[in-house]
Structure 1
Amino acid sequence: MQTKHPLQDLDFTGKRVVLTGAAGVFGRWIAEAFHAAGARLLLSDRDDAALEALRDALGGDVVTHRTELTDDTSIEDLLATVAREFGAADILINNAGIYPSGFLLDIDGAEWDRIFDVNLRAPFVLTRGIARQMITEGVRGSIVMISSGAARKMRASVAPYCISKTALDRLTKGFALELAEYGIRVNAVEPGFAPGSTASPLTDAHVTSVLAGIPLGRGSEPQDAPAAIMFLASEAAAYVTGATIAVDGGNSIGSLVVHQDKKKAL
């Protein structure tokens, strides 16, 4: 018997969803949730093999596009595919991103550009293109940026990533302001900690340390971030734009890790 997806009762039947970074950990969770809720999916990723494996796993009417987000020509081809398959999307989720380590004193200009090309420039170019299609087709759509708690709290050795996510938050608000007159809402979600990325592998010690400090006592699970994204994409959030929702178990507000010589009062 097929297991019911925890978000299956949400109804996105026929909604046209474009998702970048679909083959990653969060991308797969998002794709599975919207697919279970009846959406039509156009999945984008640079990893062609992983993308096709995801399409095969989902089954049904799923379109894929191998996109190199550092290449404007590739993004334009993705936009052309959206126009051909959907006319216009109802929902865009800018999920793709990279998390390379590197100190500001050490990083070179090419790596800086790569981080900002993927994490900031690509969401700008794609959001602009998708929004234009929505406006032309009269779609009162929803756009969700996948940000990070790193937008508000610097992290040692990954400052360029933090800076790119801070800028993405401002981009979210800028688009929200300008697209409001067309009924297009733009918001952001900050997912919680979910080890397992092949793009940015983490040591077991680091994973253990992070999990120990999360106030709600666990890492992000498959339904957590998708639930917030689906809320923002739904009519339940019809009056929400320019907002950012942290879905991280409280990790961004503080850590439960204490010094060994300190004890709780109770």
Structure 2
Amino acid sequence: MKRPPPCCLITGATGGLGRAVVEAFHSAGFHTIVTSRDQAALEHLAERLGGRVTPIAADLREPADVRRLAAGLDRLDVVVAGAGRTVRDSFGSGDEPLEDWRDAVLVNIFGTAAIARVTLPLVAAARGTMVLVGSVTGRAVVPGDLYSVTKHGVSALAEALRLEAEAAGVQVCVVQPGLIDTPMVSLGRKTRSMMTPEAVAAEILRLATGDHPFQVSEIVLRPLPARQNPR
């Protein structure tokens, strides 16, 4: 009997990094379950990649959507929780709606935590890997930056999850990338050194599929100035 391909769930699958992660895992032979709020973009991604892709639209801010997503899963070897949202303004400047700030907290922290909670039993059954996408901004205090605050939360979430799940054989890692060349990067930062989404996705794939004799709980990725993307 032919063994089924390994299975992964990738959230934030239609964003710049998320799309690259989907492509990396799909190329490695995974059945990829992809989710974001954009149903049309998910269907386009699945059509472009061909077989072994299951698109499920879900709003991770909504508990009912998270439960519906989980109900459609029956096995998971890997989860990559990559859904995220940035904010533009600081505490003391700008006129960004508070609703945008609420959404950033809900997507980045609640959504990540909810996905970890509902998928952990399946990943534990496979003795698999959970990768949470944080940020280097979650390693230091950035003045006035709510996004940085939420990424501190993701790092703490990953450590709390690891301490509970490692006894079940689950590898939990927070990947903390620096600046990635995606549409989320503001024009004012485009001149800085950046990593490609594909390079970061390749590292996430290596982490999730490597036969590590140890727990890799945290990885920091920073761009090299000599490898700045040509413009």
Tell me if TM exceeds 0.5. yes
Deviations 1:171-198 (A, max 9, x none): 101101100110011101123423332x
Pick the aligned partner of 1:220 from 163, 175, 195: 195
Post-superposition shift, 1:133? 2.9
Q: 1:202 is matched with which residue?
A: 186
Partner residue in 2 for 1:8: none
- Give the superposed CA RMSD: 2.0
Instruction: Tell me the TM-score normalized by structure 1.
Output: 0.77
Match of 2:117 in 1: 128
Residues 50, 108 of structure 1: CA spacing in aligned structure 2 closer, same or farther, 3 A cutoff?
closer
Question: Given the alignment of the two structures, is residue 240 of structure 1 paired with residue 215 of structure 2, yes or no?
Answer: yes
> Pairwise mapping of residues 103-122 of structure 1 onto structure 2 (< 5 A)?
103-105=90-92, 110-122=99-111
Do the aligned partners of 1:23 and 1:47 also contact (CA within 8 Å) in 2?
A: yes
What are the within-5 Å matches in structure 2 for residues 92-107 of structure 1?
A: 92-105=79-92
Distance 1:108 1:160 in 2: 13
In the alignment, what sits opposite 1:4? Answer: none
Q: How does 1:113-262 map to 2 (within 5 A)?
A: 113-135=102-124, 138-156=125-143, 159-197=145-183, 200=184, 202-203=186-187, 205-208=188-191, 210-211=192-193, 219-241=194-216, 243-249=217-223
Mark the runs of 5 or more structure 2 residues left unpaired by the alignment: 226-231
Q: Deviations over 1:6-30 (max 9, x none)?
A: xxxxxxx811000000001101111
1:93-150 Cα distance to aligned partner (Å, 9 max, x none):
0000001112124666544332111001111111011002334xx2201000011111
Q: Please say if 1:81 is aligned against 2:72.
A: yes
**What is the match of residue 228 of structure 2?**
none
2:89 partner amino acid: G
Normalised by the length of structure 2, the TM-score is 0.87
Change (3 A) 1:238 1:41: farther
Q: Does the CA contact (< 8 Å) of 2:180 and 2:197 recur in 1?
A: no
What is the alpha-carbon distance in structure 2 between the residues aligned to residue 247 and residue 165 of structure 1? 15
In the alignment, does 2:27 pair up with 1:32? no
For residue 229 of structure 2, what is the aligned residue in structure 1? Answer: none
Would you say the 8 A contact 1:220–1:248 is kept in 2? yes
Structure 1 gaps, min length 5: 1-12, 212-218, 252-266
Are the equivalent residues in 2 in contact too, given 1:100–1:161 (CA < 8 A)? yes
Percent identity for Structure 1 against Structure 2: 25
- Native 8 Å contact 2:175 2:218 kept in 1: yes
How many residue pairs align between the two structures? 220
* C-alpha contact (below 8 Å) 2:8/2:31 kept by paired residues: yes
Q: Which one has the largest radius of gyration?
A: 1
Conservation of the 8 A alpha-carbon contact between 2:130 and 2:172:
yes
